[in-house]
Amino acid sequence: MEVRRDPKSFLFFIILLLLINSPEPQQQSFTSRSRYDEIIVHEWNELEVVNRTRYGDFDASKDKWLNITGLKDEDGFAWDLLGPVQERVKDQARGLLGVTADAAFDGTLEDQQSVPVYRNVSGYVQGEWVRSPLGRVRHPSDMNLSAIVPDNPFPMVEYERNLTGTSGMIRLYITETDGRMRTDKNRSISEITVRMVIGDNNSIGGNWWELVLNGVHFPKFGGSLVTTTSDKFAGIFALPHFSLSQHLYSESQNFLNRTIHETIDRQEGRAYPTWNPWTSAPDGASEGMLANPHCEFVLFLQEHPIQYLVKQEQNPENRLPDMDWLEHELRYPTGSTLPRRSPLSLSMVGFSPDCGFVIESKGPPDYSHEFAHLVGSKTEEFNDRARHGIIAFAMTLSLQLILLVKQMKETATPSTRNRISFYTIAMLALGDGFAFLALIFMHLFLGTSQLALYTTAFLALFLGVFELRFLMDIWTVQATEQMRQDRQQASAATPSSPQQPSSTPTPPPTTQISDSLPPPVTAARPPPIASDQDDTAGTAPAPAGEQTQTVPGRAELGTLYSRYCLLLICIFFVTLQFTTVRFTVRSFYFNTLSFFYLSFWCPQIYRNIMRNCRKALRWDFVLGQSIVRLIPITYFYAVSDNVLFSRNDLSALMVLAGWVWVQILALASQELLGSRFFIREGWAPPAYDYHPVLREDEEGATMPIGSTQAPDDDSSPSSMSKAGESKGKGTKVFDCSICTQDVEVLVLPSGASSENAPGLGGMILQRRAYMVTPCRHIFHTPCLEGWMRYRLQCPNCREILPPL
């Protein structure tokens, strides 16, 4: 009796397991609440120290220290590096802004002298960093962690975010959202958040870290100062003392006095505690007691002035567009033409006060113009580029859908569906399902183009539903055929009833070779298979004494969908885990995943070999699907500023594209030369060959029905009067009953072998022009293939034909 499995019960079991293992909401204990109160009091005390101090009260070279975590003498930080780093930052600013930099530092910069930089620097920049000779090598033992973090049970473990190499990549995501970020009345200083992704080329496997820094931005001249904040370093409270001048110190002190005060008030008013509102953890979580210690960062950023790429004849008066108008047009476009301009560029100097290294952005004048410091684009420009990329991907999905619909119409019969590999379509469906999940969650990463993302995700889901429907049709036909073959094998293995002995000896079994015809019509044959017009929804007959076996029903199809969804979710979540590993491991995983995904024609090649069939798929489907599915992979492997910031790998892209091209060549060769032309005899199960080599013999038993032994005399006037008569030496003519036209074929003379027959190399292609059925009827290849698309029966005698 058939047992039906309900996938809903399995899904309910998974949900119940998650609910059981989920942690229960815990009430705050008295100990944790008292610890939280201590943190709030400590923050108020540090804010008071910031308000009572002046510029210059913190100077490690003059032995001046502050009662702020990390700024004490006993903490052991390398604050002697702060002075040289500040001088380096000033030199870079003067090289970019000239005398305007000193005016900006002194507070004498007028509005008419404002630097052409973006007032809102929200966007991203990326480039390479290089280690500066200003830093030095330090060890965890150089710091007094027991005094800074007395609750840390592992004070001597290796530090994270420790840059031990000489160079690496760096990417900054800068957020300065209007309306949410705080600023002063004159818009001379504003709040800024920087999410930094930094890697070390000299680390094993290309290690990288992600962290968040908070600080201030000075819109008038484009300078920014950001820092991390943790239990061992109160960076946001000490930020004013890192300023480059007295004026900038006063600006940041007054601004941070207000913003920190508001933040602590919100901490006290929250129902659930926020241990560190300025945490450097990328997920916003507080750094717990058992977390590994990490290096702190202080970054000085300077925006490069905007350079307009306008020809002199287009702007004869050399008037530059107003920066306020430019930013307003970017944020709220009205259709005005924006001038060509240089991209968003920043120079960076950063150092770690606890780990002692100093890093700089790689660019002129110290390096060639091949390196341009940190280059990127504004958030509005990035959103436009992301939207264009999403629209382009939606167009590729539309092309996939059109090609799939054409292929489904082409394979509308069981005979044609039986040729298609189930796993080829399943791999295509997995790729589209993965695209659907990626587009749904990509909004969390991009933070924009939500409507375009969800619309494209719906299109990917729609395409996946079509492919699953196609999979269901293919699986139903092929599962029914497999059941029929199993019954035939079972009936052949069942011992027959004893019969009376016969005086006529039983002829020995004949072995069929690849270039010979099947036995004559009078020979015994296995039980015929059902026609393609049989109702696949009915019950197929079973041998006597065996249980009736039905066609796959709803339970089996539900299992098919459940396995598809489970496999898709597993692949997606494994991929998410590999996005956070080191560069080498991540590249290996994504290259391997792309290689297996682009191997979707391999199952079809294998099925062609096993069934000895050809022309399973339309060529526009094969070529179109290969091209459109390579387009997204090419975008991420070859475009440097792609929306996901993936690293380019042109070598891997060439390997993947070449692998797809090899599969296409294999399919083309199978259609032209035969599905098994590159397979040795015996590697594949026996299958009937519709394109045999015809031979002459005295009895004519291996020739098609209607052949004669007319002499090979092409001068005879009646040489074309009868079917099977010779047209020339080694050539015979038969009649195709489908199109009622002549079929001209090459025939080997009697006694000739296929190895030494002259002109046999040309016969490989000529054999594809005709087809011979097991019942010894001959037809044109296009005629019989068109017939067999609808019925697997001989047009002459109605004998059941093996699948093509």
- Residue closest to 632 by CA, chosen among 623, 618, 644: 644
* CA triple 147-153-159, angle to 5 deg: 80
* 79 close to 285: Cβ distance less than 8 angstroms: no
345 and 388 housed in the same domain: no
Grade residue 736 by pLDDT with cuts at 50, 70 and 90: confident
Residue 315 covered by a domain: no
- Which DSSP symbol is given to 524? -
Element (H, E) at 167: strand 167-175
- Strand 742-748 relative to strand 694-695, pairing: parallel
- Rounded CA gap, 803 and 420, in Å? 12
Residue 673 has pLDDT above 90, yes or no: no
Preceding peptide of 365 cis, ω within 30°: yes
In this predicted structure, what is the pLDDT of residue 245? 92
365 and 412 housed in the same domain: no
Write the CB contacts of 199 (distance below 8 Å, at least 6 apart in sequence). 168, 169, 170, 206, 207, 208, 209, 583
3-state DSSP of 368-379: CCCCCCEEEEEH
In this predicted structure, what is the pLDDT of residue 347? 94
The stretch 76-98 carries a mean pLDDT of: 91
- Rounded CA gap, 199 and 201, in Å? 6
640 and 750 housed in the same domain: no
The stretch 211-228 carries a mean pLDDT of: 93
300 and 170 housed in the same domain: yes
Residue that is written with structure tokens 């309306």 in the block = 179
Write the CB contacts of 770 (distance below 8 Å, at least 6 apart in sequence). 691, 734, 743, 745, 778, 779, 780, 781
Phi-psi sector, 746: left (phi>0), alpha (psi -120 to 50), beta: beta
Q: Between these two residues, 712 and 202, which has the higher pLDDT value?
A: 202
Element (H, E) at 744: strand 742-748
Grade residue 532 by pLDDT with cuts at 50, 70 and 90: very low
40 and 98 housed in the same domain: yes
Residue 510 has pLDDT above 80, yes or no: no
Q: What are the tens digits of pLDDT across the range 679-696?
A: 777 677 777 777 777 776
761 and 618 housed in the same domain: no
Highest-pLDDT range among 18-22, 233-237, 280-284, 449-453:
233-237
Our count of domains for the chain comes to 3
Residue 803 covered by a domain: no
Q: Between these two residues, 553 and 761, which has the higher pLDDT value?
A: 553
Q: What are the tens digits of pLDDT across the range 382-396?
A: 988 888 889 999 999
The stretch 404-425 carries a mean pLDDT of: 88
Grade residue 8 by pLDDT with cuts at 50, 70 and 90: low
Write the CB contacts of 313 (distance below 8 Å, at least 6 apart in sequence). none
The stretch 555-569 carries a mean pLDDT of: 83
Element (H, E) at 652: helix 650-673
346 and 395 housed in the same domain: no
Highest-pLDDT range among 314-328, 541-555, 756-770:
314-328
Q: Is the dihedral of CA 743, 746, 749, 751 positive or negative?
A: negative
In this predicted structure, what is the pLDDT of residue 712? 45
Beta strands in 35-153 (DSSP E): 123-131
In this predicted structure, what is the pLDDT of residue 482? 76
In this predicted structure, what is the pLDDT of residue 150? 52
The structure's pTM equals 0.76
436 and 461 housed in the same domain: yes
124 and 251 housed in the same domain: yes
The stretch 553-580 carries a mean pLDDT of: 84
Residue 212 covered by a domain: yes
* 154 close to 288: Cβ distance less than 8 angstroms: no
Residue 655 covered by a domain: yes
441 and 357 housed in the same domain: no
580 CA to centre of own chain: 15
Task: Kindly write down the DSSP assignment for every residue of 224-279, as one continuous string.
Answer: EEEE-BBTTB-HHHHGGGG-SSHHHHHHHHHHHHHHHHHHHHHHHH-SS--S-TTB
Residue 542 covered by a domain: no
Q: Is the dihedral of CA 61, 64, 70, 76 positive or negative?
A: positive
The stretch 603-613 carries a mean pLDDT of: 86
Q: What are the tens digits of pLDDT across the range 117-136?
A: 898 899 999 999 999 998 88
Query: What domain range is 606 assigned to?
Result: 384-487+551-673
> Which pairs with CB-CB distance under 8 Å and at least 24 residues apart come from 478-481?
478/417, 478/418, 478/422, 479/551, 479/552, 479/556, 480/536, 480/540, 480/551, 480/552, 481/418, 481/529, 481/803
221 and 104 housed in the same domain: yes
- Residue closest to 106 by CA, chosen among 221, 217, 302, 248: 248
Burial 258-287 (b: 16+ CB within 10 A, else e): ebbeebbeebeeeeebbbbbbbbbeeeeeb
- Which SS3 state, helix, strand or coil, does residue 433 take? helix
In this predicted structure, what is the pLDDT of residue 90? 93
Give the chain's mean pLDDT: 79
Residue 346 covered by a domain: yes
751 and 717 housed in the same domain: yes
In this predicted structure, what is the pLDDT of residue 184? 61
Write the CB contacts of 523 (distance below 8 Å, at least 6 apart in sequence). none
Grade residue 745 by pLDDT with cuts at 50, 70 and 90: confident
Residue 590 has pLDDT above 90, yes or no: yes
Q: What are the tens digits of pLDDT across the range 338-363?
A: 888 889 999 999 999 988 899 999 98
Residue 510 covered by a domain: no
Residue 512 covered by a domain: no
